[in-house]
């Protein structure tokens, strides 16, 4: 499943058929009804509640209280194998230039000493939706536009819906077991943690999920946490769904020195390397899965794989490596956890890119300046 960006309008304009419209940055002192497509308001002088109806032209309204919100009208209906109709949510941080009052986000992951949150949901039956807690990260302190990494925590899902990508295993975090999915929606990478049964409330460490994503090589400590959000993605129905309480706190005071990667060491004379390059291309884009094999007799400590991409290919995002591109020249450096390749061992990374014209794969690779064979 792929979906478009969750957009925030630049100004709050009264939509045709809206009951009430609330301008961006307003403040809710009593219950406030929002029907404007991208309308938002502030609660507790700390969090932003947004209607964020981006996947349908049908009306959606939410009732905002001092502690959360409830969907009162949901007229949209999308096929469950496509994108949801909306993401009504409450957030702390910055989302498409709309920042919550006094937020200290974006903040570099290496500087976070603690990040905690508490959430309580209200569910309904007879609808297709997920209850999703989103954590957004980017290599830059971004306050506008889409971030490169989205962490989704699915506390409940109803109907024939599934996360983006495919399952890659399970993990235990905050005392629970989660099914882990990984993929891309074409604009950003997504790692989803799906609860095996519904969760109505949770008090947890956001940093636990960030660290798990970092250990998977999807981000590094130099990335920035930009926002944390809790809400719903409805596909069909959803009136009565609500976030009844939400809190979030992110504290600095962590390490101010980002982790360093040891400089690459050139494989000793007579050693070798092999590269397996597995692409998947479509009309205007592609992904590539790359496996490096150390065929030498000594461990490689730190690696940099260099090669040239054919004309018309541009890398947009990567995982398990820091990939940079200048013209056609590509450099893929290890991240912290996969810098060592023992004799006979492998290291794997991948990336997504845009494509113009016919697809072809690179023809030659060098690891730390030494030519590799093709596996």
Q: Which residues are known catalytic residues?
A: 150, 233
Q: Which helix or strand (DSSP H or E) is residue 224 part of?
A: strand 224-236
Beta strand 224-236 with 201-205 is unpaired
Q: Which of 358, 256, 375, 363 is nearest to 311 (CA)?
A: 358
Q: Which of 43, 41, 63 is nearest to 247 (CA)?
A: 43
Beta strand 60-64 with 69-74 is antiparallel
SS3 category, 105? coil
SS3 category, 128? strand
SS3 category, 84? coil
CA–CA gap between residue 302 and residue 304 (Å, rounded): 7
Summary count for the chain: helices (H), strands (E): 1, 29
* Cα 195 → chain centroid: 17
Q: Are 51 and 42 in contact (CB under 8 A)?
A: no
Per-residue tokens: 171: 């993990």
Q: What angle do CA 281, 277, 274 make, to 5 degrees?
A: 175
CA–CA gap between residue 176 and residue 350 (Å, rounded): 29
Per-residue tokens: 70: 């409830």
**Given the structure tokens 């000793």, which residue do they identify?**
268
């Amino acid at each position: 499943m792929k979906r478009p960006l969750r957009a925030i309008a630049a100004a709050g304009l009264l939509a045709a058929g809206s009951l009430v419209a609330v301008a961006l940055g307003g403040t809710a002192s009593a219950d406030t009804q929002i029907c404007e497509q991208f309308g938002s308001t502030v609660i507790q002088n700390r969090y932003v509640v947004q209607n964020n109806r981006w996947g349908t032209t049908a009306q959606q309204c939410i009732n905002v209280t001092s502690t959360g919100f409830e969907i009162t009208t949901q007229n949209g209906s999308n096929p469950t194998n496509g994108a949801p109709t909306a993401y009504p949510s409450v957030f702390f941080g910055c989302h498409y230039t709309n920042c919550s009052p006094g937020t200290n986000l974006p903040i570099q992951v290496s500087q976070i000493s603690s990040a905690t949150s508490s959430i309580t949901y209200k569910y309904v039956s007879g609808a297709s939706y997920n209850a999703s807690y989103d954590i957004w990260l980017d290599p830059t302190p971004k306050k506008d536009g889409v971030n490169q990494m989205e962490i989704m925590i699915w506390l409940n899902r109803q109907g024939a819906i599934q996360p983006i990508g495919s399952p890659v295993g399970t993990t235990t975090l905050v005392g629970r077991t989660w099914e882990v999915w990984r993929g891309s929606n074409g604009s950003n990478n997504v790692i989803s943690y799906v609860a095996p049964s519904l969760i109505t409330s949770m008090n947890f460490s956001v940093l636990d999920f960030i660290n798990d994503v970092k250990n998977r090589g999807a981000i590094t400590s130099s990335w920035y946490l930009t926002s944390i959000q809790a809400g719903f993605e409805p596909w069909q129905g959803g009136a009565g769904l609500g976030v009844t309480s939400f809190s979030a706190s992110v504290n600095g005071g962590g390490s101010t020195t980002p982790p360093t990667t040891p400089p690459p060491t050139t494989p000793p004379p007579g050693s070798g390397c092999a590269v397996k390059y597995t692409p998947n291309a479509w009309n205007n884009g592609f992904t590539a899965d790359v496996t490096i094999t150390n065929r030498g007799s000594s461990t490689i400590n730190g690696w940099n794989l260099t090669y040239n991409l054919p004309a018309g290919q541009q890398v947009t995002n990567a995982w398990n490596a820091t990939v940079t591109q200048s013209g056609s020249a590509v450099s893929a450096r290890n991240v912290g956890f996969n810098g060592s390749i023992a004799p006979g061992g492998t290291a794997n990374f991948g990336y997504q890119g845009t494509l113009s014209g016919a697809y072809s794969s690179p023809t030659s690779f060098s690891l730390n300046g030494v030519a590799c064979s093709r596996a």
